Amino acid sequence: MGGLWVVAEPGPDHGLARISTEIATLARDLGARGEHEVVGIVVAAEPAEPAAELARYLPRVLAIQDPAADERAWAAVAAAHLAALAEGDSPDLVLTGAGPDGRDVAGALSALRGLGVLTNATSVAWDGDESGAGGPSVEMSVFGGKLLTSSGFTGGRGIVTVRPNVVTAAAAAAPGKVEQHASRATPLPAVRVVDRVSEAGAAAPIEEAKIIVAGGRGVGGPDGFDLVGALAQVLGGAVGATRAAVDSGWIPYSQQIGQTGKIVKPELYLALGISGAIQHKVGMQTAGTIVAVNRDADAPIAEFADLLVVGDLFEVGNALLEQLRSRSG
């Protein structure tokens, strides 16, 4: 089979993760340029729905049904099936997301098949003449965004984990076909899923938001996030936060942006009371427009914002809220 593999990651409600639709779009484009076959691979207890969804993006999808994919930690189950599949016909390039599931499956597959991994790609292209013969050229951002690197695989093949929002997902002109694949893999040690817990107050997912209003330690407490939330609402955006705000318990971890939180790429990032520490910056520096309100003109965020308003975030924020409301009203 060879070719390019897109590993389908599990999404909400037994569906497909959004990152996998982005990666499928990326892979379809790479496949067309390099004349590689592109295959989506779904490992799930009930693969029908995610496989059909992935087939909207790719010409061919293999559906591997395994109840363990739901009862056990998914990545180890999926990696074992992928390894078995790769034993028959080694892929040229395996693409996963750079989030938790994608990294876990990439790491395990790399060990099982001795494949190199390039991580956190901000772009993937063919090296040299576009034919794909030179293998992929993978761009990554390292040292907190201070440097961009292009790397490849010495043996031509390997695994790449791709960041969210590198491409915009777009369905193919016509949907592809789904094939059931009977796989007999040697499983990795089982990790049982005892329970899946949804925490109350889980807010709108920030990875998908076009506009993010984020609050840091400067908002001073949970009440400060009322203003952040109100601004997000008039702007039609989502609420983000720094680790300082999350650690203080003002907002759930799901909203944290940065090295140990989410990596986002909204059109607008409005930062209130955020200093712009390197670990926060890596999560949002590729935003289209960055606006900051900070009473310290020398905060690090002054170095990478488009607009810095020096002042008290409550005064400026409330004035902005009023002006935006009167515009829309």
Ligand X SMILES: Cc1cc2nc3c(=O)[nH]c(=O)nc-3n(C[C@H](O)[C@H](O)[C@H](O)COP(=O)(O)OP(=O)(O)OC[C@H]3O[C@@H](n4cnc5c(N)ncnc54)[C@H](O)[C@@H]3O)c2cc1C
Shortest gap between Cβ of 303 and ligand X (angstroms)? Answer: 12
Decide which of ligand X, another protein, none touches 183; Cβ closer than 5 to 8 Å per partner kind: none
Question: What are the distances in angstroms from CA 54 to CA 16, 50, 166, 273, 312?
Answer: 7, 6, 18, 40, 47
Among 2, 59, 107, 175, binds another protein (CB under 8 A): 107
- 217 near ligand X, judged by CB under 6 A: yes
How many other C-beta atoms are found inside a 10 Å radius of the C-beta of residue 105? 27
Binders of ligand X among residues 278 to 307 (CB under 6 A) are: 279-280, 283, 293-296, 299
What are the residues facing 8 on neighbouring strands? 42
Q: Which stretch binds ligand X (CB under 6 A): 74-82, 87-95, 102-110, 256-264?
A: 256-264
Q: Does 99 bind ligand X (CB under 6 A)?
A: no
In single-letter form, the type of residue at position 1 comes to M
The region of 35-43, 50-58, 221-229, 320-328 touching another protein under the rule CB under 8 A is 320-328
Kindly indicate which of the ranges 48-56, 114-122, 181-189, 277-285 contains the residues binding ligand X, using the contact rule CB under 6 A.
277-285
Residues 6+ apart with CB under 8 A from 78: 7, 43, 69, 105
Q: Find the shortest distance in angstroms from Cβ 273 to ligand X.
A: 4
Among 188, 213, 264, 299, binds another protein (CB under 8 A): 188
Among 54, 61, 282, 299, binds another protein (CB under 8 A): 282
Indicate the burial class of 261 (C-beta count within 10 angstroms; 0-12, 13-18, 19 or more): buried
Name which of 180 and 260 has its Cβ closer to another protein: 260
Give the CA distances from residue 15 to residues 18, 153, 263, in Å, rounded to whole numbers and listed in that order: 9, 32, 22
Which SS3 state, helix, strand or coil, does residue 178 take? strand
Q: How far apart are CA 125 and CA 239, in angstroms?
A: 33
Distance CA(110)–CA(244), nearest Å, equals: 35
DSSP string, 288-326: SEEEEEES-TTSGGGGT-SEEEES-HHHHHHHHHHHHHH
Please report whether residue 43 would count as binding another protein according to CB under 8 A.
no
Nearest approach, Cβ of 71 to another protein (angstroms)?
11
| Dist CA 299 CA 40 (whole Å) | 45
Kindly state whether residue 211 participates in binding another protein, applying the rule CB under 8 A.
yes
CA atoms within 13 Å, Cβ hemisphere of 272: 28
Handedness of CA 18, 23, 26, 28 (dihedral sign): negative
* Residue 16 binds another protein (CB under 8 A): no
Token pair, residue 83, equals: 């390894």
From the list 8-16, 27-35, 193-201, 211-219, the region that binds ligand X by CB under 6 A is: 211-219
Nearer to another protein by C-beta: 6 or 112? Answer: 112
**Binding to ligand X in span 140-169, by CB under 6 A:** none
When binding is defined by CB under 8 A, the residue of 88, 173, 184, 196 that contacts another protein is 196
Q: In terms of DSSP bridges, do strands 60-65 and 238-241 run parallel, antiparallel, or are they unpaired?
A: unpaired
**Which of 95, 219, 232, 305 is in the footprint of another protein by CB under 8 A?**
305
Q: Which does 189 bind (CB under 5 to 8 A by kind): ligand X, another protein, none?
A: another protein
Q: Summarize as ranges the residues that interact with ligand X (CB under 6 A).
A: 216-218, 242-245, 256-261, 273-275, 277, 279-280, 283, 293-296, 299, 312-313
